[in-house]
Amino acid sequence: MDLKKLSLGERILGAAGILLLIDLLFLPWHHLSVGIQGISIITVNRSGVSSPHAFLGLLAVLVTAALVAHVVVSEFTKLQLPTLSVSWGQADLIGAAAVAALLLLKLVLKTDYLGFGAWLGLILAGVLLYGAILRLRETQPTPGSQETSIS
């Protein structure tokens, strides 16, 4: 697996996607600690795919996994991807925007007892969106690069 084959947008998209998957699945998005005089008796941590609003976190995981899988499949295999009604760069951007919107909605709907995973997840969603914007710019043809044929 030669990572030098990847463009900057694909590297950012892939790395941010993998880190976001780890964040959503394992880091605490909601943290509650109950104790007496500084001594914690009960500590509860909820990941990004746990309640509250687990469905939004699960959808974000699925879309993020699809974005990472697209980068891996398109660059490291010889499989021919199907044609879409939009370009693959646009599809990546739509997916990254959906992930950012889902995570922002998950955060806005329940703002109590937020853990560091929630804040890190929002930052990673922003980086994922930035990588998708770069990927879209890389896949779009430049205006002067198309040859015109004269009949």
- pLDDT tens digits for 26-50? 999 988 778 777 777 777 788 999 9
CATH number, domain of 33, equals 1.20.140
Does residue 111 form part of some domain?
Answer: yes
DSSP E strand boundaries for the chain = 30-36, 39-46
The model's pTM: 0.86
Which residues touch 112 (CB under 8 Å, ≥6 apart)?
30
Does residue 148 form part of some domain?
Answer: no
Predicted pLDDT of residue 5: 80
Give the span between the Cα atoms of 77 and 35, in whole angstroms: 53
**Domain limits at 25?**
3-139
3-state per-residue secondary structure call for 132-150: HHHHHHHHCCCCCCCCCCC
Give the residue, 54 or 34, on which the prediction is more confident.
Answer: 54
Q: Read off φ and ψ for residue 35, nearest 5 degrees.
A: -160, 180
